[in-house]
Structure 1
């Protein structure tokens, strides 16, 4: 049997994970002396309430190899093949923890996959794997498809400020300063597994329009859903969806509430568009 494991930065809720038939390993968010496992001990709503009152920006931490070993040992004992699809190695040490666990367990039926992405980009790949599994594909066939899809995933977002990405170590000081002048709303993307600033506009509405303008409708693979995401409040995401739907006729649209770990680095009032290019 083919099993699928991902991490909590996919922003797949426990309820949806159960429906999809997958397992999720949580990353953690740390407020001073208190640590919470994402999706288990803290919800997105609870996280942003804490973030607004926090005197110090929280930190995030990856799962330990031991967290993966339990899942890997179960797969080994049952003879299942396990596709483990994780946040970009360039954004988190989660992938490395999984690789250490795989070496300890010593089972060839475990496939650890660097998604080169996170949040809705990671969710897209996980749900694509679930779809392929449902069609009766083998783990090797699904892996081949995922490796082909990974460089084609496009995640673009408008963030309110680059402060959180800079303080969290996901962006350089020079790029953060450039995006913080004159109430500019930065446009970012995930490229080669890392965060990159691709534009900036004065005001959220202009930034959203610029984001949508950057997408060529002919470049989208419409056989895969288009994903939207947001941090804390959905208003900007709704605007992004409305602007996108004026120009792109999507067959399947899915929405994610971005959780605590990515929320730590993106901050409030972020909206995300993700699709698979052809």
Structure 2
């Protein structure tokens, strides 16, 4: 058997995890001094209510090595192989915790993958792992495949407000104030595992057009792979965002997902994103 483990920043809720036959290790979210287990004590809609009403920016805390080791021990006892997919090591120590746990249990049949992303990027990697497991591929071959595949996953998002990028230290107060007055929406995404601001545009329509430009510049979208539309807070305008992208790239059905606390802390409510895979 192959056990697949991810962390809660993949934004896979616990019911969905059961359907996929995977384990989800929660990160912890600290808001106004109170600690919550992501997706266990705190659901995304509750998080955004707390975020808007909090004076300070929430922080997240990685799982301990023991959180992973407990699952590894069970796998070791059952002689299962283990594939672990964590959020980017540049924004959290979760990847490090997963590796430390491997040393703790002294079991070699564990393969830990740094997704180089989070939220729906990480989810697409997990879904590919599940598909390959269900096709009967062995763990080492899945690991090798995913290590290549992860470099083909892209995420672009625009956020509704500059306030949280400023609070998180990613924008100066001057830039945030000027951008807010001009109704700028920053376009963010991942570059080699790091969360970056790629551009900004005035209003949702121009921000969506800028995302289309970025997609066109960065390799052809593989329409045989899943495409995910993500959001947080309200779904107002989400259909328009998705349909504009569909007209540009002619994709069919999409997955949908709610952005959880890790990206949500920096983005604030009202973000829209697309995650997809580029062709080889």
Q: Normalization by structure 2: what TM-score? A: 0.93
2:211 corresponds in structure 1 to 211
1:14 corresponds in structure 2 to 14
1:259 corresponds in structure 2 to 260
1:161 corresponds in structure 2 to 161
Structure 1 residues 3, 251: closer, same or farther in 2, change over 3 A?
farther
- Per-residue deviation, residues 31-75 of structure 1 (Å, max 9, x unmatched): 122111110001111111111211222111111111111011111
Q: Distance in 1 between matches of 2:128 and 2:180?
A: 36
Asked if 2 retains the 8 angstrom alpha-carbon contact of 1:228 and 1:254, the reply is yes
Q: Distance in 2 between matches of 1:4 and 1:197?
A: 32
- Structure 2: runs of 5 or more not aligned: none
Cα shift at 1:209: 2.0
SS at match of 2:224: coil
Q: Distance in 1 between matches of 2:76 and 2:238?
A: 42
- Per-residue deviation, residues 96-116 of structure 1 (Å, max 9, x unmatched): 111111111111111111000
1:31-50 alignment runs, 5 A limit: 31-50=31-50
2:101 corresponds in structure 1 to 101
2:126 corresponds in structure 1 to 126
2:221 corresponds in structure 1 to 220
- Structure 1: runs of 5 or more not aligned: none
1:146-157 alignment runs, 5 A limit: 146-157=146-157
Asked if 2 retains the 8 angstrom alpha-carbon contact of 1:156 and 1:187, the reply is yes
SS at match of 1:245: helix
Q: Distance in 1 between matches of 2:235 and 2:7?
A: 23
Asked if 2 retains the 8 angstrom alpha-carbon contact of 1:236 and 1:271, the reply is no
Cα shift at 1:172: 5.8
Asked if 2 retains the 8 angstrom alpha-carbon contact of 1:225 and 1:250, the reply is no
1:176-215 alignment runs, 5 A limit: 177=176, 182-215=182-215
Q: Distance in 2 between matches of 1:143 and 1:121?
A: 16
With 90-99 and 205-214 compared, the bigger mean Cα shift is at 205-214
- Per-residue deviation, residues 120-142 of structure 1 (Å, max 9, x unmatched): 10001000111111111111111
With 206-215 and 174-183 compared, the bigger mean Cα shift is at 174-183
SS at match of 1:160: coil
1:275 corresponds in structure 2 to 276
Cα shift at 1:180: 5.1
Q: Distance in 1 between matches of 2:136 and 2:163?
A: 45
Cα shift at 1:215: 2.1
Cα shift at 1:176: 6.1
Asked if 2 retains the 8 angstrom alpha-carbon contact of 1:224 and 1:252, the reply is no
With 1-10 and 49-58 compared, the bigger mean Cα shift is at 49-58
Q: Distance in 2 between matches of 1:193 and 1:214?
A: 17
Q: Give yes or no for the alignment of 1:63 onto 2:74.
A: no
Q: Distance in 1 between matches of 2:60 and 2:174?
A: 22
Instruction: Supply the RMSD in Å over aligned alpha carbons.
Output: 1.9
Q: Distance in 2 between matches of 1:18 and 1:269?
A: 29
User: Would you say how many aligned residue pairs link Structure 1 and Structure 2?
Assistant: 277
Asked if 1 retains the 8 angstrom alpha-carbon contact of 2:246 and 2:252, the reply is no
With 93-102 and 172-181 compared, the bigger mean Cα shift is at 172-181
